[in-house]
Structure 1
Amino acid sequence: MNYNIRGENIEVTSAIRDYVEKKISKLHRYFSETPDANVNVNLKTYSDKTAKVEVTIPLPQLVLRAEVDHEDMYAAIDLITDKLERQIRKHKTKVNRKFREKGSLNTLFTTTDEVASTVIEEESDLEVVRQKSFNLKPMDSEEAILQMNMLGHSFYVFTDAETNRTNVVYKRKDGRYGLIETYN
Structure 2
Amino acid sequence: MQLEITGHHLEVTESMNNYVREKAERLKRHFDQVMKIHFILEVEKQRHKAEATFHVNGNHLFADAYADDMYAAIDALTDKLDRQIVKHKEKVKDHHRQEAAQMVAATETMD
Distance across 1 between alignment mates of 2:40 and 2:99: 36
1:45 equivalent to 2:43? Answer: yes
How far did residue 101 of structure 1 move?
Answer: 6.2
Kindly report which structure 2 residues correspond to 1:75-114, keeping only aligned pairs within 5 A, or say none.
75-100=72-97
Structure 1 segments unaligned to the other structure (5+ residues): 104-184
Kindly report which structure 2 residues correspond to 1:11-22, keeping only aligned pairs within 5 A, or say none.
11-22=11-22
Q: Give the CA RMSD over aligned residues.
A: 2.0
Change (3 A) 1:69 1:24: same
Q: TM-score, normalised by structure 1?
A: 0.50
Distance across 2 between alignment mates of 1:39 and 1:96: 22
How far did residue 60 of structure 1 move?
Answer: 2.1
Query: Higher helix fraction: Structure 1 or Structure 2?
Result: 2
How far did residue 4 of structure 1 move?
Answer: 1.1
1:66 equivalent to 2:63? Answer: yes
Q: Deviations over 1:32-72 (max 9, x none)?
A: 46x3x22111111022x210111001222221210111111
Q: Name the count of aligned residue pairs.
A: 100
Distance across 1 between alignment mates of 2:32 and 2:53: 20
Kindly report which structure 2 residues correspond to 1:1-184, keeping only aligned pairs within 5 A, or say none.
1-32=1-32, 35=34, 37-47=35-45, 49-100=46-97
Structure 2 segments unaligned to the other structure (5+ residues): 101-111
How far did residue 31 of structure 1 move?
Answer: 2.4
- Percent of pairs with identical residues: 38
